Amino acid sequence: MHTEKSTVDLLRAIREKARITKPELAQLIGTSLVAIEQWERSSAVPSSKQQKIISELFEKSNRGLKFKKSSLVLQNGSFASRGSTRNALNNNQANLFSSPPPVVTINIAPSKPILSIIKDGNAISNAHQSLNEILKAHSKPAKTVKTARHIEVSAGKNTYTYDAHTYHTKVPPQGIVEFIENYLPEGGVVFDPFSGSGMTGVAARIADVDVILNELSPAASFISHNFTESVSPAEFWAAVKMVLAGVNETRNRLYATECRECGKTTEILYTVWSYRVICPICDFEFLLWEHCREYGKTVREHKILKEFSCPSCGETLKKRQLSRTTVEPVILGYKCCEKKQIEHSLNQADLKRIEEAESGQYLQKGFYPTTKLKKGVNLNQPIKHGLNSIDKFYTCRNLSAMSLLWREIHRLDDVHLSSAVAFVFTSLYQRVTRLSEFRFWGGSGNTARFNVPFIFNEANVFVTFERKAASILDHLETTAINYSGKKAVFCNSATELSYLPNSSIDFIFTDPPFGANINYSEMNILWESWLGEFTDDKNEAIVNRAQGKGLVEYEKLMLESLRECYRVLRPGNWMLLVFMNSSGKVWDALKAAVRQAGFITERLDIFDKQHGTFKQFVSNNTAGCDLVLHCRKPLPDESIDRKTKCLSYSKSISEFIKSREQSIPTIEYLHVKRKNEIDLRRLYSEWLAYALPKEHKLVDFLSFKKLMEKHIKLGFQ
């Protein structure tokens, strides 16, 4: 029987019988390649839902069924890609949908700002009406579980729904579904006080439960609203095409170039710009691009060097210590008569087009922001390099393109559609700015900081917009089309939830701010400058020196928020907090806030979102997997025994090592040549999950790392 086989045996049997690769197996299960590697080494285990999928795949492969590559999906069920992105970008396909195409009307004069139309006070769209319907439908408590269950989730980020719109931190919704289904087996109402991008809402609507989302940031509220909306895919794509048609003439002027191979006019996909820099030793000024490149055998091995010799005096220079002067375009890329993408230096015609754009003649007045930056943790670096207002985040060419798109989006007659297409616009975020660092292998990261790279990639705004629209189309066709239940989105502080009655919520799932990890109000200024409304950071629960907030202020604001969560949650029901921080003091602050609010933390589980961030792999002070705190609101008159054996962190770690039954987790570097290493970050997450409910003393990641390295030398004794 397959039930007698281990997970490792099942996975290997599926691959052998179905003749599929590990990446393809990861796609079928709805996780990442990293997770498959960990499961096959027994250093991590799949969740119960993933175990069920694995068993089903084994049964199919055992019956001789083959999984064709064309049928492989990026996520099972409601998160499965249908290939809409590929089809939408296929220029040979005349019509994606049934004929005739939907009629989308456009106004001569642009409307008022979109956010001001869909937002009424603190309510997004018809949130108050939806809230009343939700509360009326759930006047009686929903069925829940009495004790916390072990739910260790490993959810990949490789779905079009997850990738549809960027945000600083997101929890894969297919993982949240597992928690909702466990704690609300027969449905109910879910609440997220820190909704961010709205992934709790996405999961709830897929799980057929009603959901209320609360978010302080106007930008995040806008994103949450659109992520949880159901929009006709056909009408959406017709609106996207209508917007692009309105900018087509200027698009050709901004991004046209001559193909060096066939001589025809083609479209620039991107242009690479480099700063000129000054040697601090000999004062020689030079173009950085010409002297800091190193080429390997493959494009992945090409590098922008951090250290190199000065072309004048020959001294070794560190890139980060160089003074910058002006920027120059160095190469451009396009695809025309060749199958692959071609790169060339700019010719005189290319430089002339840039010069024309720099004159500002294509800018649409009133449709681009000029918001001045104030001092801040993430805002100081762009200010330092002269990017002291949002319009300066862009080259003049890209700002012109953005203003053209923004104007056309505001001309769409249907507010529902204009909001959806504006959702595409905001998904561009840093991709089309001067903050987009050039990579030899392509792509662009939207990091949770505003670093100004020495060499940046000026992506074609219209091409990027169309690609992101196609990705969102896939989300609409696969996930959003399956939404059920009601939703209400509020732009409001979690410290004051006056619109919610006492004991009205069945389940809370939230991903609150992680101390000083991300400065949300600063990072959202790019979106909010376009949307025209900004975060009131007074009640932002964060550690931020620019706001004058330390751990004391963070703990106070978290306590106020969690007390409100306690008030609105029904007695005996559950609040799940997704959290991770490398600081023991931040954990202590969160732990104190949870306890003082009145909750009982019954257990912690790992939520492995996979595909660790770049920072997690290069920083020695960044923790690993997120943890899920299972917190329960006690029943009336329930006696609470909080007496625990408080151990020092060193004794707690030793006890933790002795209690572990699984093999030691390791990091396998799949895309770079680097030896496998013990995954200390995951071990830190596991130790916190072990120690926090027992009230053991907590410690920061660096101290944990040093102590664990001693245990490693002793063979984990």
Q: Are residues 170 and 319 in the same domain?
A: no
Mean pLDDT of the chain: 87
* C-alpha triplet 515, 518, 519: angle, nearest 5°: 100
DSSP string spanning 623-685? Answer: --SEEEEEEEPPPTT-----------HHHHHHHHHHH--SPPPEE--SSS----EE-HHHHHH
pLDDT number for residue 440? 87
CA distance 639 to 557: 27
**Averaged over 422-429, what is the pLDDT?**
98
Question: Considering the domain boundaries, does residue 672 fall inside one?
Answer: no
Q: Are residues 156 and 253 in the same domain?
A: no
Specify burial of residue 538 (Cβ count, 10 A radius: 0-12, 13-18, 19+).
exposed
CA distance 439 to 460: 15
Q: Are residues 446 and 495 in the same domain?
A: no
Question: Considering the domain boundaries, does residue 416 fall inside one?
Answer: yes
Question: Considering the domain boundaries, does residue 675 fall inside one?
Answer: no
Q: Are residues 287 and 415 in the same domain?
A: yes
Q: Which residue has better confidence, 297 or 252?
A: 252
Question: Considering the domain boundaries, does residue 168 fall inside one?
Answer: yes
DSSP summary character for residue 698? P
What's the count of helices (H) and strands (E) in the chain, helices before strands?
A: 26, 22
Question: pLDDT tens digits for 58-84?
Answer: 888 877 766 654 444 434 456 655 555
Q: Are residues 446 and 385 in the same domain?
A: yes
Tell me how far the alpha carbon of residue 239 is from its chain's centroid.
26
Question: Considering the domain boundaries, does residue 99 fall inside one?
Answer: no
% of residues, the chain, pLDDT over 70: 88
Task: Select from 441, 476, 511 the last residue of a domain.
Answer: 476
Give the pLDDT band of residue 717 (cuts 50, 70, 90).
low
Q: Are residues 218 and 283 in the same domain?
A: no
Q: Are residues 385 and 324 in the same domain?
A: yes
**Averaged over 225-243, what is the pLDDT?**
96
| Confidence check: pLDDT of 456 > 70 | yes
Q: Are residues 455 and 507 in the same domain?
A: no
CATH number, domain containing residue 564? 3.40.50.150
pLDDT number for residue 98? 63
Question: Total domain count for the chain?
Answer: 3
Structure-token match 């706001």, residue found: 547
pLDDT number for residue 605? 85
Question: pLDDT tens digits for 539-573?
Answer: 999 999 999 999 999 999 999 999 999 999 999 99
CB 329 within 8 A of CB 347: no
**Averaged over 679-707, what is the pLDDT?**
84
| Confidence check: pLDDT of 34 > 80 | no
| Confidence check: pLDDT of 617 > 80 | no
CA distance 646 to 616: 30
Task: Select from 476, 499, 529 the last residue of a domain.
Answer: 476
| Confidence check: pLDDT of 268 > 90 | yes
pLDDT number for residue 55? 87
Domain boundaries, position 65 = 2-72
CA distance 579 to 167: 16
pLDDT number for residue 277? 98
pLDDT number for residue 66? 64
Cis peptide, bond prior to residue 634, ω within 30 of zero: no
Question: Considering the domain boundaries, does residue 276 fall inside one?
Answer: yes
Question: Considering the domain boundaries, does residue 52 fall inside one?
Answer: yes
Q: Are residues 337 and 467 in the same domain?
A: yes
CA distance 530 to 526: 7
pLDDT number for residue 621? 45
Question: Considering the domain boundaries, does residue 306 fall inside one?
Answer: yes
**Averaged over 45-49, what is the pLDDT?**
77
Give the pLDDT band of residue 2 (cuts 50, 70, 90).
very low
CATH number, domain containing residue 26? 1.10.260.40
CA distance 187 to 177: 12
Q: Are residues 373 and 296 in the same domain?
A: yes
Angle (deg, nearest 10), helices 233-246 and 248-255: 60
% of residues, the chain, pLDDT over 90: 59
Task: Select from 433, 457, 476 the last residue of a domain.
Answer: 476
Q: Are residues 454 and 331 in the same domain?
A: yes
Q: Are residues 330 and 275 in the same domain?
A: yes
Indicate if the alpha-carbon torsion angle 301, 302, 304, 305 is positive or negative: positive
Give the pLDDT band of residue 150 (cuts 50, 70, 90).
confident
| Confidence check: pLDDT of 613 > 60 | no
Give the pLDDT band of residue 619 (cuts 50, 70, 90).
very low
CA distance 83 to 471: 9
Output the pTM of the full model: 0.88
pLDDT number for residue 347? 97
What are 397's two structure tokens?
């060419």
pLDDT number for residue 607? 80
